[in-house]
Chains A and B, each alone.
Chain A
């Protein structure tokens, strides 16, 4: 893949295929309200946006031509540019994905500062906590590499950090889209070239509402509710086991199934748990139920199994309550 720069246009090419990134306007227009001129007409001194674009895309090629995301960066630049030109306010752009020393940051930051002193490009670390430091609706654009963290709640969190009219640019070099993201991406425009794809979301009310509903906070809350519901069901079942209430034959099977589901939900919430022993506590309770069931099936004396089941269930239910209520 390569970038070709001429006096009138900048294109991304591979083999015989090409993709137009930027075209030099013949006449000034209303799309640029920054202090810099887009093109030079009669005041010949000083750099123009067009000449800086040429320099920056050349730098991008120098820094990133061996990077598999090279094409994505070029497509991102194309989408970012109109946003940067559209107002004379300093811009706040956030990027999640490339390593901190990636050359793309230098290129984008250089261009942003050229247009407006005080514009900032912030590279987030590759951690699920990275987004929590950002205020809602605080960014003009969010560049998000899907291949680093292909998660619907995380993408929705990213969307919620962007102000109305701003952009979320999801990019990937993988096919197909991860499960769960298809529905969201129908709301996006799509740029494709070779193995590179960029999904472009312009933030509006409906998209913000969708993001809020599917963001990690809601996902965590709904999973926490699932844990509580299962814990409640289990509490009744375990109580019945311990008090000798007659139970249907598959009661133990059901209890263990519920606990396995609970374990899985807790593990999916693992990064957010205050008590990181909770999943293993769920497993310990499952083990006690299996022991109790084994004792019944093998017609053993049940006192020890009952004691362990009592202790383990008390520990687990108390821990769930501490964590979620």
Chain B
């Protein structure tokens, strides 16, 4: 299959994928985001659009995805099961597909208890695996979860996420196996700063034949400052920043921390490119998105292959 989306064609064509992240604004002013996004044209294969990350209210991911699509950037629509039941999720997915958004990344989402509306009623009608299965069913069988046919034969590419930095690797690999069996066509990981731990996870996945069944895109982080690193470490579930990284950032003066963070990021990308079973990188440059084009260039990821 040639693939419906640029990202799908890159991965199925065996090319090394490069994606990054766009955090929609808390508000309706998208000027800065559009300015940063315009610099990414031709430099990334697709851009993930977060769905209220850390359970903090942002512009809806489908709306931001549509804005990116209109400017010629391929979005990956993140959809969490945290805030919407199966009725709302399926409805929003149909809406996104009708708008031309064709990459969907299915997640459970961070718990509202640590977000900016901790009083909210949690939903979690489905978990991410059940949602992936529902999304896949819509595409393959052309029907909703209840079996009712949907019109228009929607075509799209389905992804899921994994955290390699967990205690019981065996259990998490079982979960990954279920995710892939449910229909994930690519896996995006939490940012890698500890390569050995990442490789231990990857090896287990490979031993179960999972990396052959489903391409793995490894997350990487460009840390802007010690302050940002501390914030991510303490407040963002699933992001592990080892002491060694913190020490490296602390060892340089404040004005050089961003450059050091970018160096670390580029080193990680170089190591991951050489790691068997890694099929791409997902770069998270939180708070320094404007430097993404430079990171991608310095990491030797240009030019991006033309697979249209």
A binds B: no
Enumerate chain B interface residues (CB-CB to A < 8 A).
none
